[in-house]
Structure 1
Amino acid sequence: MSSEAQQLNILESSKEKFLDLMSELNDVQFHSFQDFVQSALEEYHAQLHHCHEADDNNDEHTETEQQNGKFQPVSDAKMMRLGRMIQDLRTRVPISAEAPGEKTTIPDTPEFKEFTEKNTVHVDGFLFTEDDVDDLVEKGKMSRNYCLECGSKKVAPLNFISHSASVLQLQFLYQVALADQVKDKVIVDIGSRLGAVLYSGHLFTRARKLIGVEINEWFAKLQQDMIQKYKMEDRVQVICKDIQDMPELLSNEADIVIMNNVFQFFNELPTQQKIWKFMRTETKKKPGSLLVTLPSLQEQLKETGMSASKLMRGWVKEVKLDYDGGWFQELNDDELEEIKQVHLYRVV
C-alpha cells in the first residue's frame, strides 16, 4: 500500500472514530464536547501559526541550535496533550493546588520577609500562567490585592507562590538544559507533587524512566491516576516515600535528579539542613550524574543557613546555561527571569 493510501485510510478511520464517539454522548455532553473540540482546534491553529511564524523569522538560528545538539523541538500535538492534562488537573485540585490538610510554612528568610498567611496566595505555576490568573481575576475567582483595613479601599498587592515549575520552565529544562542528555537515562523528581516534571518528561524526552518521589499520599494517588489515565505507565512511576528512606535511588539508579524548591516550604531549617547533607552524601556516590534545581543550589543552601561554597566544594560543578539563546519566541523580562530559575549541576 502506498504512503498516500495509508494516510487516506488513517484519515477515514479517524473520522469514523470521531463519529462513533459523538454518537455515545447525550445532548448535554454533546454541547460540552463541541465547545471542547472548537477550543482545541482554535488553540492548535494558533500554536501552528505561531510556530511557523517563528520558523520563518529564525530559520538560520533555529537550524544552528538543532545542529549543535542544544535544542530539542516539541511538536504541537505534544504541547496540546500536555494542555489537556493541565485542564484535567484543574478539575481535580483547588486553584492553590494544595492537598487536603497540607501544611506549608513561609520561610523565615530575607526573601520572604514581607510574606504572611494573610497576604500570600498559593497559585500553581504549572496549572496557571499569568494570563490565566488575569482571567481568574476578571471572573472574580481571585484577587491580586487584599484589604489592609476591613471595609476600606486601602489595599495592597498579594504575594503569589507556586510549588510547581511552569510550562515555560519545563520546556527550557527539557528542550535546552537537558536537551541532549536525557535519552535512555533515569530521571528522579523529588517532591513530584502534581507530576508536572514527570508528564512533560514523558512527552518531551526519550528518558528510559521517570520516577517521582512524593511523601504526600494524596498527591501520590493523584499522579498515579493521571499516569494511568494518560497511559504513561511504560516509563513513569510514582513512589510515596520520604527520599531519605531511598538512598539507593540516588546513589545507584538516578542519572538526573530534579528538585523544584522542594524542601523550603515544607520543613523546618534543621530538617532542611539534614536533607541537603543526605543529598550530597548519596549523589556523590554517582559521579557524572546531573542535578537540576529551581532556584539555584547556591540560593537554596544559603537560605538554610549553610555555607553553599563549602557544601558544593567536592560535590558538584555548575553547568552554565544559555538562557537568552533565542530558543523560543522572544521572551519578555518576566519570562526570562522565570527560566533563569532553572540551574544545572554535574556531580564531580
Structure 2
Amino acid sequence: MLNADLPWLQAPLAQALARARSHALLVQGPAGVGQLELAVKLAQSWLCEDRAEGQPACGHCASCRLFASGTHPDFQLLLPEALDASARESLGLPFEEAEAPKAGKAKPSREIKVEAVRNLLSFAQATSARGKAKVVVIFPAEALNGVAANALLKTLEEPAGLLRFVLASHDSAGLLPTIRSRCQPLPLALPERSAALAWLSAKGVADAGGLLDATGGRPQQALQWFNDGLTDAAWQALPKRVARGEVAALSDWAPARVIDALQRLCHDLVRRAHGQPGQFFAAASLPSPKRPGPLLSWEAELRRAARHAEHPLNAGLWIEALVAQARSAITAAAR
C-alpha cells in the first residue's frame, strides 16, 4: 500500500470517487495538507480491479500491487526534476537517487518542462495495458511552464480512450485559465486541528500544537519542519532573537526558509500593531509594536528579497542584511 496515511483525506477521497464527472480533476488547496497523496489515491482507485462502486482502492488486487511497486503500466506521475525523488519517497514509491549536480551543471529544474509533457503525450496515446483506464497525476500543476501547459491543452480537452487526469495544485491561480477551465475542481481544506494534532503526535512530533500553528495549520509542513530539526521552543524564541539582531538564529537555515520565517514574523507583528492576535507565534513570543508603518515597509522589502531567495549571491551576507533590516523595522515600530 502507498504511504499516504492522512486520515483527513478519507472524506474528500470518498466524495471525489462519488462525484467526479470529468476526465480531469483539479485538487486544489493550501500546501502541506495532502494534495499529492489524494491525487495518487484517486489514481490507484480508478485503476483498481477489485473495488466496490464508490469505494477506494482495495490494496490487494494485481493492479494495486503493481501500483504500490511503482510499475503500473497505466499510471504516470509527472513531477519537476527537483521534487521527483522526495515526492516519490514520501509516497513510498520507488525512485532513483539523483546524482549531485557537478560544477557548471544546471540544478534540477523546479518547472515541468515541455519535454516531459511530450513524453507524457506518448503514454497518453497508447492503449491501456490492463484495459481499465490510464491515469496521469501532475504535481504541482502550477509548475508547468507556459510552453508545457500549452502542449498539454489539447489532450486535456480531448483525451484518448480511457485517459484520466488529476492535477494537484498549491496555487491554482498560477495555472493557465484554459487549464483550469478543463478540470473539475476538487477543493482540499486544512484538516481539523484535532485530527492534525493526533496525526503529528503519532509521528512523534513534540509540542505539535506550536509547530502546527507555525505552519498555519498544515500538518505535513509541521512534520517536515520537525524532521529538519526545528523545535517549537526554537521557533518561539525566533522573534526576540531577530529583534536583538542575532544572525545565528537563522544562519543554519536555507534562504527560502529564512524569508518564509521572516514573512510570518512580520505578518504577526503587523497584526499585533493593529490590536489583533498573531497567527504563527504565541503572544508571549512576540515584541509589542506600536506603529505598523515600519513593519509594512519591511514587508515590502521581504517581498523583494524573496525573488532572490533561491540563488542569493552570498547566503551568509544576505541573511545578515535581512536580520539587520528586521531589527531596524521592529525597533522603529516599537517607538
Q: Same fold (TM over 0.5)?
A: no
Say which structure, 1 or 2, has more relative contact order (CA 8 Å, 6+ apart): 2
> So what's the TM-score if we normalise by structure 2?
0.27
The answer to which structure has the higher strand fraction is 1
